[in-house]
Structure 1
């Protein structure tokens, strides 16, 4: 497995930014299929960056076993959002980053080979991508995601003073907007194409457990099928590391026999 630390200039963000990338040095999928690798875009949490998954999990080992590339971007504390007063991180993540990654690495551009997952803030980002662009992803996963963003803004949270306003504007602006996952769930009901597979998990001792239960109910009410797992666990790497292995094993890799 090759580990690549990559810096490049983002036109969308108007700054130099970094990604960490794992590229299999040999993959049966790559050799026998399209010649391009399936890819998992793996998103970090609010207080982290693109090094977090490398430092705290065995993601390299799990991905190598499956012959899948992993791309880990850095978005600061943006909540994977085109910020009200700041940079367009959602546009960077959804449009610019995949174009750059495919230009630099042997990454497939097929929907069937493209997956996204994240923990905490990254779980919100992953589901936001999958619900907004269902035609781009085959599978989407959230680990302990901050999925009820209105609840996060209105109740206890670990945002800095005025940070929420900079990201989202006033809380009244979220409901019914592209930043509201419940709005995106309702909108997806009218989508007639193939929907991604969705995976959601959260530990029962996690402070985001109630938010995850709320999202699960909305998903069920909207008719969206979501593979759901809970069980004992807190908001930490002891929970996320084994869960990301479960997610890697769950991905619908088209080259597997």
Structure 2
């Protein structure tokens, strides 16, 4: 495979930004001129990391390069800091260059990174050739993008994450002093208050409810280890809700796994099969 590490100045992130891209492997028996000049477009997986991670996580901790090679698949892995794949525009004063500080990680993916990849690399922009997946925080990002931009993805794989019904969130819960409440407080303040947060794309549960039965949602996979004490109970709640209102999804679990890379390496293999990506016979060597 070819792995590209790209550093560029991002309009939406107001900073230099680094991404990793896995590109398909040239078969050894095909002349370079013929292969690179073919004009062929390849399917794309937008692969999101979790909290405290970056664009290198999936490459360093799973065999995603091998799996992508077998599928003739482009994999795009951005860095998202601990942004929750959200827009953080709380600092609205103009900086030295006259632009607003803060950064728009939610808008960045669809409005900047996708146009870059489609136009600078041999990547197909067709909905049927685009897939999104992520783990933990990246799973929450995957839910948001799949629900709010269903026209851009054929399927989505949410690994070790689950929609939460933020419409039930109360001010009293936000005042608690645990890590989750503190994180939610920051998200709510960033959205402009609890009501604005509930009506925003952050409340993917609400967005998905509005699309239930419409046929507009991408095909959905939710994957979680049964030993994942952070996520598994929430996933069971959402599964029951999805069945009740007619959201079609596959729920895939494995006993004995928690919130861990050993599970995510297995889950991404299942996700690629769920997407319908078949082995092409391409050599990984």
Shorter chain as denominator, the TM-score bin is 0.7 to 0.9
2:161 aligned partner: 145
Query: Cα 1:128–1:161, aligned 2, differ >3 Å: closer, same or farther?
Result: closer
1:209 to 225, 232, 256: 232
User: How much has 1:167 moved relative to structure 2?
Assistant: 4.6
User: How much has 1:231 moved relative to structure 2?
Assistant: 2.7
1:234 to 255, 258, 275: 258
Q: Is the 8 A contact 1:4 1:22 kept in 2?
A: yes
Comparing 166-175 with 216-225, greater Cα deviation is found at 166-175
1:118 to 129, 134, 140: 134
Q: Is the 8 A contact 1:113 1:254 kept in 2?
A: no
2:8 aligned partner: 8
Give the greater-gyration-radius structure (CA): 2
Give distance in 2, aligned partners of 1:248 and 1:109.
18
Query: Cα 1:140–1:160, aligned 2, differ >3 Å: closer, same or farther?
Result: closer
1:42 aligned partner: 47
Q: Is the 8 A contact 1:113 1:253 kept in 2?
A: no
Alignment map for 1:77-226 (pairs within 5 Å): 77-83=82-88, 85=90, 86-148=102-164, 150=166, 156-157=178-179, 163-165=186-188, 167-189=190-212, 191=214, 193=216, 195-206=217-228, 207-226=230-249
2:63 aligned partner: 58
Alignment map for 1:15-30 (pairs within 5 Å): 15-26=15-26
TM-score (normalizing by structure 2): 0.79
Q: Deviations over 1:126-147 (max 9, x none)?
A: 1111111111111101000153
Unaligned runs of 5+ in 1: none
Give distance in 2, aligned partners of 1:227 and 1:210.
16
Give distance in 2, aligned partners of 1:134 and 1:121.
19
Q: Is the 8 A contact 2:70 2:280 kept in 1?
A: no
Give 3-state SS (helix, strand or coil) of 2:220's partner.
strand
Q: Deviations over 1:58-113 (max 9, x none)?
A: 10011111111100011111111122523211110122110011122100010010
User: How much has 1:187 moved relative to structure 2?
Assistant: 1.8
Q: Deviations over 1:135-172 (max 9, x none)?
A: 11111010001532747x85854666964456545455
Query: Cα 1:92–1:256, aligned 2, differ >3 Å: closer, same or farther?
Result: same
How well do the aligned residues superpose, as a CA RMSD in angstroms? 2.8
2:268 aligned partner: 244
Unaligned runs of 5+ in 2: 91-101
Give distance in 2, aligned partners of 1:165 and 1:196.
27
